Amino acid sequence: MPDQTKFNKLANKHVLILGGTSGIGYGVAEACLESGAARVIVASSNSERISKAVSKLTSAYPSRASAVVGGPATDLSNQDTIDANIKALLESTVAGGKLDHVVMTAGDALKYKPIAETDMPDMIQSGMVRYFGSLLLAKHCPSYMNPGPGSSLTLTSGLMAQKPRPGVSSGIGYGAAIFILAKSLSVDLKPLRVNVISPGAVLTEFWGAFPAGQVEAMMKMFEEKMTTGVMGKVEDVAEAYIYCMKDANMAGEIVSTNGGGLAM
C-alpha cells in the first residue's frame, strides 16, 4: 500500500519564473525541481543567461533534466514592447500545457536619483520592470493557467519598500505599490491566488559586481540591522515562494523574509 501524499503539492505542476536565471529566481527554480515540478520554465531578458541557467540546472538535477525549460528572452524594460513581450512569453508555454504557478522575480538595477534631480521619464522607468511588469503579467497570465485556488501568481517587492533608507524616494513607491497590487489582484483574479514576497538583503551573485572589501563592509552594515545577524541565503528565501505556491489558503498576503530586519 503506497504512502499518502498530502504535502507534495508541487509534484507534476508547471511553473514559470520570470527572473529565473539568477539570484532568488534561480533558487526558486531549484526548489521547484526538488519539489517534483513537472516543468520549470526560466525566463529572463537575456538569451545567453537563459541558456546558462538551463545548463546549470540540468547539471545540478540530471534526473530532472527534462523538466527544465528555457523561455524566450523577454525584455520588460521598454514601455513600447513590454505588453507584447509578456504575452509572447506566455504563448511560448502553451505547447507544454497550462501553467499552475507564475513567479515574478525579474528586476533591473535600482538607480535612485536625488528627489531634486529626478524627472518624469526617470520616475516612469524606475517602475517599468518590477511594477508595470507585474501588472501586465497579471493582465495576461490567467488565460494560460489552470483555474482555481490551486494556482498562484507570486510577486516580489522588498524590505526597503517597508523600511526605506534615505535617498530612495524617487522610485521606492513602486515597491510599496506592489504590496497593495497583490491584494487588489487577488480580488480581481479570484480564485487565482496572488501574493507578494518581501525579501531583505540576500546573498546573490549581485554582490560579485563590487570589490571584495566593499562587499564585506556592506554585508556588515546589513547584518548589524538584522536580528539574526546573518545575511539571507537564496535557498532560505526561496522557501517563501514555495510556501505561497503550496498553500491554497494563502491569497492577497505579504510574506516577509528579512532576517528580522523589519524588527530592528
Report the alpha-carbon angle 145-34-209, nearest 5.
Answer: 90
- pLDDT value for 214: 84
> Under a CB-based contact definition with an 8 Å cutoff, are residues 60 and 30 in contact?
yes
Q: What is the pLDDT of residue 157?
A: 98
pLDDT at 105: 98
The pLDDT value recorded for residue 190 is 98
Q: What is the pLDDT of residue 182?
A: 98
**Exposure letters 132-145 (e unless 16+ CB within 10 A, then b):** bbbbbbbebbbebb
**Which set of grid coordinates corresponds to residue 231?**
545575511
| Strand residue runs (E) in 122-216 | 152-156, 193-199, 202-203
pLDDT in 10s for each residue of the chain, 264 residues:
889 989 999 999 999 999 999 999 999 999 999 999 999 999 999 999 999 999 999 999 999 999 999 999 999 999 999 999 999 999 999 999 999 999 999 998 777 888 888 899 999 999 999 999 999 999 999 999 999 999 999 999 999 899 988 888 888 999 999 999 999 999 999 999 999 999 999 989 877 777 878 888 888 999 999 999 999 999 999 999 999 999 999 999 999 999 999 998
* Domains of the chain, CATH where assigned: 14-257 (3.40.50.720)
With 0-12 / 13-18 / 19 or more C-beta atoms within 10 angstroms meaning exposed / middle / buried, residue 236 is middle
Return the pLDDT at 109: 79
pTM for this predicted structure: 0.95
